[in-house]
Amino acid sequence: MSLAETQRVMWSAIRGGSGRAVGDLVVGTAELSAAERVEIYAGMYLTRQVEALAENFPKLAKLVREEAFHGLVADYVRAFPSEEPSIERLGRRLAEFVPNHRVSGSRCDLADLARLEWARAEVFLEADATPLGVDALARIGPAVFPRARLAFIPALRTLKLEYDVLPLWRAVECDAMPPPPRRRVGAAVVWRRRFDVFHVAVSPHEARALSLALNQRMMAEVCACFGERRDGARVAFDAIGGWAREEMIMDVCTSSSPRRSPRSASRC
């Protein structure tokens, strides 16, 4: 048997699959059979994945309790086995898996909680970027501002949520009684500032404006999102100033061509 075939058989056995008997590859002892020896590694493999996902989804793990979370992860990795070198990417599809799992019977807002936690895990690992200072943003002249485009730090995500899970996240964080699920469609922004990760709910106007800004639309169109409000101009500038103060913006492009990607580090 080739090395590659040996690896495939062992990998299948460790993941609990069928296939060629491990007795052909692993020597048993008086204390443990070949299958029992492989089972030790299989258990360690699952345990490490449970630990990794508990690190990325600490509030979800705490809320559903240890046994239920272990079962959730066991079923999840069978459905979506790791396909990337880094275990940090293992949980990228957990939020879409949760609604169809029995654990969701305890609360209908667990998928949104998982979505929030995964966004926080992602931005923590994103590339660093030097934010643009508020003063630099303020120096953009009024003649140039309407056609300017913003470039944002890589460590930023926007979320559309069906449930109001931010109070739930805070309650679990503080060991308080979790509030009952509250269905409310909304939006949140998750970002990293230096070594700290933050998230905050944003209004529908700001969510729309931020979505346009992230897609390299000109500031005139971004600010128009607040036009329905009587104080739209002030709210628009407060929102954009807030993005700068929270160190979400890394550059401003005033040329006629937008930057290709908000994650690009090249300057206009």
Cα–Cα distance for residue pair 64/103, rounded to 1 Å: 7
Domain count for the chain, please give it: 1
- Is residue 87 assigned to a domain? no
Query: Is the pLDDT confidence value at 266 over 50?
Result: no
Cα–Cα distance for residue pair 59/109, rounded to 1 Å: 12
- Is residue 6 assigned to a domain? no
pTM: 0.83
- Please give the mean pLDDT across all residues of the chain: 87
Read off the pLDDT of each residue in 174-186 and give the average, rounded to a whole number: 96
- Is residue 254 assigned to a domain? yes
- Is residue 1 assigned to a domain? no
**Residue 91 CB neighbours (<10 A):** 27
Cβ atoms of 236 and 209 closer than 8 Å: yes
How many angstroms separate the Cα of 150 from the Cα of each of 123, 168, 238? 19, 32, 15
Query: How do residues 35-84 score in pLDDT, each as one tens digit?
Result: 676 777 666 778 899 999 999 999 999 999 999 999 999 999 989 988 88
Cβ atoms of 227 and 185 closer than 8 Å: no
Domain that holds residue 265: 130-268
Query: Is the pLDDT confidence value at 264 over 80?
Result: no
Cβ atoms of 207 and 161 closer than 8 Å: no
Query: How do residues 78-101 score in pLDDT, each as one tens digit?
Result: 899 888 878 999 999 999 999 999
- Is residue 91 assigned to a domain? no
pLDDT band at 218 (very low <50, low <70, confident <90, very high): very high
- Is residue 262 assigned to a domain? yes
- Is residue 190 assigned to a domain? yes
- Is residue 193 assigned to a domain? yes
Query: Is the pLDDT confidence value at 127 over 70?
Result: yes
* N residues, the chain: 268
pLDDT at 255: 72
